[in-house]
Amino acid sequence: MGTVTMAKALNAALRDAMADDDRVVVFGEDVGQLGGVFRITDGLLAAYGERRCFDTPLAEAGIVGFAVGMAMSGLRPVVEMQFDAFAYPAFEQIASHVAKLRNRTRGALSVPIVIRVPYAGGIGGVEHHCDSSEGYYAHTPGLKVVTPATVPDAYSLLREAIADPDPVVFMEPKKLYFASADATLPVTTEPFGRAVVRRPGRDATLVAYGPSVPVALEAAEAARGEGWDLEVVDLRTIVPFDDETVTASVRRTGRCVVIQEAQGFAGVGAEIAARVQERCFHSLHAPVLRVSGLDIPYPAPKLEHVHLPDVDRVLDAVARLQWDDQPDPRWLAA
Amino acid sequence: MGTVTMAKALNAALRDAMADDDRVVVFGEDVGQLGGVFRITDGLLAAYGERRCFDTPLAEAGIVGFAVGMAMSGLRPVVEMQFDAFAYPAFEQIASHVAKLRNRTRGALSVPIVIRVPYAGGIGGVEHHCDSSEGYYAHTPGLKVVTPATVPDAYSLLREAIADPDPVVFMEPKKLYFASADATLPVTTEPFGRAVVRRPGRDATLVAYGPSVPVALEAAEAARGEGWDLEVVDLRTIVPFDDETVTASVRRTGRCVVIQEAQGFAGVGAEIAARVQERCFHSLHAPVLRVSGLDIPYPAPKLEHVHLPDVDRVLDAVARLQWDDQPDPRWLAA
Amino acid sequence: MTTTPPAVRRASPRTRRAAAPPDPARALLPSPQPVRLLDESGARIAVAGYPEPPTDSLRELYRRMVIGRRFDLQSTALTKQGRLAVYPSARGQEACQVGAVMAVRDTDWVFPTYRESMALVSRGLDPVEVLTLLRGDWHCGYDPAARRTAPQCTPLATQTVHAAGLAYGEAQQGRDTVALAFIGDGATSEGDFHEGVNFAAVFRAPVVFFVQNNRYAISVPLSRQTAAPSLAYKGVGYGVASEQVDGNDPVAVLAVLTRAVAHARAGNGPFLVEAHTYRMEPHTNADDASRYRDGAEVEAWGGRDPIDRLETHLRGLGVLDDAAVAAIRDEAEAFAADLRTRMNAEPTVDPLSLFDHVYAAPTPQLVEQREQVRAELAAAAENKEVAG
Amino acid sequence: MTTTPPAVRRASPRTRRAAAPPDPARALLPSPQPVRLLDESGARIAVAGYPEPPTDSLRELYRRMVIGRRFDLQSTALTKQGRLAVYPSARGQEACQVGAVMAVRDTDWVFPTYRESMALVSRGLDPVEVLTLLRGDWHCGYDPAARRTAPQCTPLATQTVHAAGLAYGEAQQGRDTVALAFIGDGATSEGDFHEGVNFAAVFRAPVVFFVQNNRYAISVPLSRQTAAPSLAYKGVGYGVASEQVDGNDPVAVLAVLTRAVAHARAGNGPFLVEAHTYRMEPHTNADDASRYRDGAEVEAWGGRDPIDRLETHLRGLGVLDDAAVAAIRDEAEAFAADLRTRMNAEPTVDPLSLFDHVYAAPTPQLVEQREQVRAELAAAAENKEVAG
Ligand SMILES: Cc1ncc(C[n+]2csc(CCOP(=O)(O)OP(=O)(O)O)c2C)c(N)n1
Ligand SMILES: Cc1ncc(C[n+]2csc(CCOP(=O)(O)OP(=O)(O)O)c2C)c(N)n1
Ligand SMILES: [Mg+2]
Ligand SMILES: [Mg+2]
């Protein structure tokens, strides 16, 4: 098919899912005539009509709650939250209903909805447009949390999310929307729950997901110059988590850095670090380190580069992996 | 003063804070005439009148947003969310305004409000009344997150929260409301950011907070029988976090179990485990283990005992701390 | 999709003054006083637009109210015996609870709150299944899909949005389902109520929003929820037809709800009904209502009993006599006795079922946790055996 | 605190029919057509209750609108030059932007959205400080406390609740501050709008909620936000007085807002105003409005220009002549030139300031992170020096 952007791949996934299953309906703010502010729903209204793709009143709790009701009627709603922070008004509906309805009813009701959330930064957006909110969802049992880093995954994971019997929070890294790759669509990649080694390496493992995967790959490339051969694992789905792939990699390499854009405290990266040290303790030559966003509100465009994990910061962390088997002096001093 | 319950200590803290500073106002659902469903605000309306303590319309985003506005006018609102899960409608106000207003305005506006959240389980409550939601707040930069486990701390930390220039999410462990202790009020305990060793021990450190502190203490007591001398650290404030006390303890004991009631995935316990292994790597004889709620929606009363960390589960984790310096076979098998 | 500037379609102000067009809002406003078809003594009042429901329906309404009240009293008693963890009573609200569910079909969907146990029993759900939540066995004891009844909703007002989505989804699939969403006066203050009614209005979804205004949200009086002349006046702001009704007048409740359901089913969009009523009991058995309302108020409302009112009316019509009333009371007693017996048996709930319905299939993480719990339970059972 | 059952204070239905009490809702309903004091040609229309504002005020209104529009055009131009990351234009909405802020005092509080840059400049805030957000330097460039102007709010409708709280807090402390909360038509669908208006109503907080209904929320037309006859009809459901106004009629906007502010300041509680207007530009410079509205519609609205309308009126009154108009235009040009110059200088923002205002004092975790960033920056600077 040639060169495809992630935005186009997501659009194709929606289009194909709607063609294959007429229970699939797409709605949200500006998803109809406009095709979404990122054009992910472009052309769906024209192709499938108002019944299948429509604009709603401007109210996120309403959108998610409406999707719950529509799912109860047998449909398969895919809703768009316009930006990460604008999903917060829907938090109660997501945490108290979407995540729990199957459990509350012992499986009598399911909520096969997909909540698409364009997230994270790196696009020079003003405040409230760049939050990395995956940690909130990953901490909420009953939700699956998925985030593609590649064009084929964008297509395949979104198709799987729509077909999944459970609610999926589908986190789309905004800064990758217009990154393109050679890809032939439709494509089926590894299923939910499987991480993928994007680059094999022997010396240390970089665990990343979504917008941090390209950073990890770039860092691994740069690390070659420093004599480090780094493995990069792309999680793809945060929930369910692929312990097997991550653990196998770290046991092999003996060192691990976890990368995420979100503020670090009590986020997904903390979970990964906690799991890895728990499961790979005797293989580790150094503590599992984390490179994450700072523990501050997302900064204004002019300073976002200071906040975001970049190649240098990743390499700094790699350098601290006690290659000489000496403890990190920072923590000894404390 | 003799025997005081935590509920009474919290009530006294509000009462004294209102007496000392007439900018302090208390409002929320049922906090006036009724004195709150847990009676934490009992008598405040009678003592200070409608201007200082009042019931609001039933709307949590409204309550928190109203508090933001009142704080802008120079007052110091203390608001009550009736139960943990019923704070979710306020999530946008908390994450996008309460947490960020100081930062957005370079300190020109501050939000010295206290959001009181009765939380966690163990009281046989029906669904949506027992969530452990501290992880969501701890993951949000700009919020302080505090949770007392003792009666003196309930008083002192709440007083400090009200006096603090920053917004504080004050998490009150419901199951401890009516636990009592000998205490003389007013009392000043250690300040925000200081963890306290509740029980010294040499063999391993149990890190706990809020409702899990009594479980940790009980487990430490029981562990004596098995020949383990366990130290118990009560965090008291989750944000700011006391790395110093926790790190010093684990470096001394060489082993650590983190206990929390909340579902484990990407919660506060993950952060603690990640930090501890990072900072104490060379002192650790075993991985940092976590005992937490299961990764499921909070269960109905009849099964909550299966969900909640209890003494047995803590002792099981302690037993897995590789006392014979052998790796945990569970993870080798994987 | 495009809009026309106002002046194009509107007469200029000067012309307007000459012949003002009818205010489109008028048709949406409720009656300025609650609709009442029986006065407090049980005598019939004629109100245009609200014909009296068929006598058979009224008799059935009476029967279900009597059983409903008996169920409610029994449930409160069960809390005292420790058989129920908590029970939010609907005593005093029988006309609303029963009238509303009688206005919808079995194929319609009902979205109840924690307060609607009586309504659900009246809809024919098994009372033991209804009480599963309040006994603490599981979150929902009945099959919502089979009974077309959502789980009783605790997070206030959230169910109104689900009702809008369900109703729209059903209509889109060519089914003539109506969704009946219950909500309390206090919960109308929540943002989700606003969004639920608005979504239903914009999509003309067939939803009846039924506000039982029992004057309190736990302890908080209506005056703290709204400064509006009545909650029914919220309808016009959404373009939704609305009505207010005396919620202790069973005939009026059934008549107004019947009209509302017909309006929705006919494709005219949602309908908002506010019923003025009163809960005679505390918020739940755990509440102490004496803290916030006085006995005189409760007593005054006791004098407006909905069952008495309907009984007087039906006796007047010759539809009920002493024997019929006694037979219905007997039926209610039998119902309560059966409930008591069945509630004495404590079902066991398999702890491992905790892992069954978090996802359609458990994640590897849950499989691990399940295995750990299984091992713990096995060890505990073994210890018991050794000890025993 | 206790409530009275309805029948005690209400006449029985029969009595009512004889002499129906006046509907308390009437007084809260808006005029069924938007208030208009100038027709499209600029001719004066008399409307009871809305006296024409003083001529001095109208002249000042005109002046600020001309400067406001010039500011707006300049800002849009700055996006093309890459000097601003994004700019949401208010062109076409000048009557609303300027009229509203002219109706309040400097001691009152204003709660603007992203759309109100023009309003803030008109309020006297430094345009460079206003544009700090959109240039991407920091989230808010002015001192909200000093200017009694909240940061421009992006999370829709959330500011309405802050306005209610601020107004109530001020009143409680004996100050006669009014809060003016701006909001768009789309944002009225959010739950927070409902809660903000309701809190203000219940606590009789002096807030003016000013809805600029510009008929679109980005691409979504008004018909997808509401089925109500007009957004102003939402007021009655909260017990809030309301009005609708022709938002392209500057005289009417100023008159209606002046009344609304007086109503609030006098202690009568909040007031809801809906202004019917239109944004002539896309949602922001990044938006492609041709995807959702056609040129004819835009053109039709262009013919209802608020500045032209007021200019005609003031020329008719003899308050403006060619020279005066030219002088104001010159002033606007000078304003724009000054803005251009000042926006050419890119301020540097200290990266370490990121840690300064997360809390009043940084946590130990932030101190650590700050130290790490400081070290990184020092290393980078050193590398640069070595390289350079
Ligand atoms: C979102 C949310 N906030 C708070 C509560 C706690 N709560 C349960 S019932 C109740 C009062 C509800 O009053 P109303 O809506 O009038 O219904 P009623 O109980 O009178 O039937 C409150 C505050 C809740 N369940 N959900
Ligand atoms: C809570 C929230 N959801 C979505 C958005 C994204 N968004 C920004 S402006 C806008 C449209 C707002 O329309 P309206 O309220 O009519 O104001 P206008 O832009 O027309 O002035 C949307 C959807 C947001 N800022 N906040
Ligand atoms: Mg009520
Ligand atoms: Mg608009």
The domain locations on chain C are 25-287+294-343, 351-387
Give pLDDT, residue C387: 73
Of residues D149 and C11, more confidence is placed in: D149
Mean pLDDT for the stretch of residues D311-323: 97
Residue nearest to atom 13 of ligand 1 (CA): C217
Mean pLDDT for the stretch of residues C179-198: 98
pLDDT above 80 for D4:
no
Domain boundary among B150, B183, B216: B183
CB-based contact, D362 to chain A, within 8 Å: no
What whole-number percentage of chain C has pLDDT above 90?
91
pLDDT digits (tens, 9 = 90+) for C322-349: 999 999 999 999 999 999 999 999 889 9
State the amino acid at position C176 in one-letter form: D
pLDDT digits (tens, 9 = 90+) for D246-274: 999 999 999 999 999 999 999 999 999 99
**Residue A330 counted as domain residue:** no
Mean pLDDT for the stretch of residues B320-324: 91
Instruction: Report the residue of chain A nearest C368, measured CA to CA.
Output: A243
Of A55, A300, A313, Cβ closest to residue D137: A300
Alpha carbons within 13 A on the beta-carbon side of D243: 23
Cβ–Cβ under 8 Å, residues C348 and C138: no
D96: Cβ contacts below 8 Å, ≥ 6 apart: D90, D210, D212, D247, D253, D275, D277
pLDDT above 80 for D8:
no
Residues of A in contact with B290 (CB under 8 A): 274, 278
pLDDT above 90 for D10:
no
Pocket of ligand 1 (CB under 6 A): B 29, 58, 82, 86, 89; C 115, 154-156, 184-187, 214, 216-218, 283
Cβ–Cβ under 8 Å, residues C8 and D300: yes
Same domain, A242 and A296: yes
What do you get for the CA distance between the two ends of chain D, in Å?
A: 76
Residues of D in contact with B66 (CB under 8 A): 161-162, 164-165, 168, 199
Task: Count other C-beta atoms under 10 Å from residue A175's C-beta.
Answer: 21
Alpha helix ranges (H) inside A73-147:
91-92, 101-104, 134-138
Instruction: Report CB contact under 8 Å: B62, D357.
Output: no
Same domain, B23 and B137: yes
Most ligand 1 atoms within 8 A of CB, residue of C93, C97, C156 to mutate: C156
Q: In chain D, which among 232-291 make CB contacts under 8 A with chain C?
A: 233-240, 246, 269, 276, 278
Give pLDDT, residue D384: 85
Cβ–Cβ under 8 Å, residues A264 and A270: yes
Q: Tell me what the pLDDT averaged over chain C comes to.
A: 94
pLDDT above 80 for D3:
no
pLDDT above 80 for B6:
yes
Cis peptide before C306 (omega within 30 of 0): no
Give pLDDT, residue B333: 46
Query: Domain holding B135: CATH number?
Result: 3.40.50.970
Same domain, A155 and A236: no
Same domain, A28 and A153: yes
How close B307 gets to chain D, by Cα (Å)? 32
Exactly one of D36, D91, D279, D309 is catalytic; name it: D279
Strand-pair partners of A53 = A26
How close B8 gets to chain D, by Cα (Å)? 25
CB-based contact, D78 to chain B, within 8 Å: no
Least confident of A27-31, D21-25, D42-46: D21-25
**Residue B242 counted as domain residue:** yes
State the amino acid at position C78 in one-letter form: L
Instruction: Report CB contact under 8 Å: C161, A96.
Output: no
Cβ–Cβ under 8 Å, residues A194 and A46: no
pLDDT above 80 for B330:
no
Same domain, A101 and A220: no
Q: Which band of pLDDT confidence, cut at 50, 70 and 90, is reported for residue B153?
A: very high
Query: Domain holding B227: CATH number?
Result: 3.40.50.920
Same domain, B234 and B271: yes
pLDDT above 90 for D385:
no
**Residue A327 counted as domain residue:** no
Maximum separation of any 2 CA atoms in chain D, in Å:
96
Give pLDDT, residue C346: 84
Question: Which range marks the domain in which residue B308 is found?
Answer: 196-322
Give pLDDT, residue D18: 43
| Cα A268-A273-A277 angle, rounded to 5 deg | 150
pLDDT digits (tens, 9 = 90+) for A68-111: 999 999 999 999 999 999 999 999 999 999 999 999 999 999 99
Q: What are phi and psi of A138, to 5 degrees?
A: -65, -25
Pocket of ligand 2 (CB under 6 A): A 29, 58, 82, 86, 89; D 115, 154-156, 184-187, 214, 216-218, 283
Cβ–Cβ under 8 Å, residues B257 and B204: yes
Instruction: Report CB contact under 8 Å: A59, C195.
Output: yes
Mean pLDDT for the stretch of residues D219-226: 98
The listed range with the strongest mean pLDDT (A317-331, C125-139, C373-387, D9-23) is C125-139
Give pLDDT, residue D2: 38
Exactly one of B128, B129, B285, B305 is catalytic; name it: B129
How far is Cα C83 from Cα C76, in angstroms, rounded to an integer?
A: 10
Give pLDDT, residue C11: 35
Maximum separation of any 2 CA atoms in chain A, in Å:
65
CB contact burial D54-66 (16+ within 10 A = b; e otherwise): eeebbbbbbbbbb
Mean pLDDT for the stretch of residues D95-123: 98
Same domain, A160 and A29: yes
- Mean pLDDT in runs of 10 for chain A (334 residues)? 92 98 98 98 98 98 98 98 98 98 98 98 96 98 98 98 98 97 97 98 98 98 96 98 98 98 98 98 97 98 97 97 78 51
Residues of C in contact with D16 (CB under 8 A): 33
Give pLDDT, residue C388: 63
pLDDT above 50 for D93:
yes
Give pLDDT, residue D5: 38
How far is Cα B102 from Cα B141, in angstroms, rounded to an integer?
A: 11
Q: Which band of pLDDT confidence, cut at 50, 70 and 90, is reported for residue B1?
A: low
Same domain, B221 and B171: no
Give pLDDT, residue A36: 98
Total tally of structural domains belonging to chain B = 2
Mean pLDDT for the stretch of residues C193-221: 98
C-interface mutation test, from B27, B38, B86, B303, most C Cβ less than 10 A away: B303
Domain boundary among B152, B183, B214: B183
Same domain, A81 and A123: yes
Of A75, A108, A165, Cβ closest to residue C169: A75
Q: Please, is B328 exposed, middle or buried when counting C-beta atoms within 10 Å of its C-beta (0-12, 13-18, 19+)? A: middle
How close B190 gets to chain C, by Cα (Å)? 36
Of D139, D224, D363, Cβ closest to residue A57: D224
Q: Which band of pLDDT confidence, cut at 50, 70 and 90, is reported for residue D303?
A: very high
Instruction: Report CB contact under 8 Å: D20, C36.
Output: no
CB-based contact, C189 to chain B, within 8 Å: yes
Instruction: Report CB contact under 8 Å: C219, B55.
Output: yes
Instruction: Report CB contact under 8 Å: A61, C145.
Output: no
Active-site positions of C read 279, 283, 292
Residues of C in contact with B128 (CB under 8 A): 154-155
Mean pLDDT for the stretch of residues C154-170: 98
Residues of B in contact with A265 (CB under 8 A): 138-139, 141, 239, 241, 271
Q: Tell me what the pLDDT averaged over chain D comes to.
A: 94
Give pLDDT, residue D387: 73
Of residues A33 and D388, more confidence is placed in: A33
Give pLDDT, residue C26: 87
Domain C25-287+294-343's class? alpha beta
pLDDT digits (tens, 9 = 90+) for C65-119: 999 999 999 999 999 999 999 999 999 999 999 999 999 999 999 999 999 999 9
Same domain, A102 and A147: yes
What is the Å distance from ligand 3's center to C214 Cα?
A: 5
Same domain, B178 and B202: no
**Residue B332 counted as domain residue:** no
Residue nearest to atom 20 of ligand 1 (CA): C217
Q: Tell me what the pLDDT averaged over chain B comes to.
A: 96
How far is Cα D151 from Cα D131, in angstroms, rounded to an integer?
A: 11
- Catalytic annotation present for D50: no
Helix, coil or strand: residue B146: strand
Helix axis angle, C94-102 to C306-317, nearest 10°: 60
pLDDT above 90 for D7:
no
How far is Cα D280 from Cα C331, in angstroms, rounded to an integer?
A: 70
Owner of token pair 């992170």 = D369
Give pLDDT, residue D313: 97
pLDDT above 80 for B283:
yes
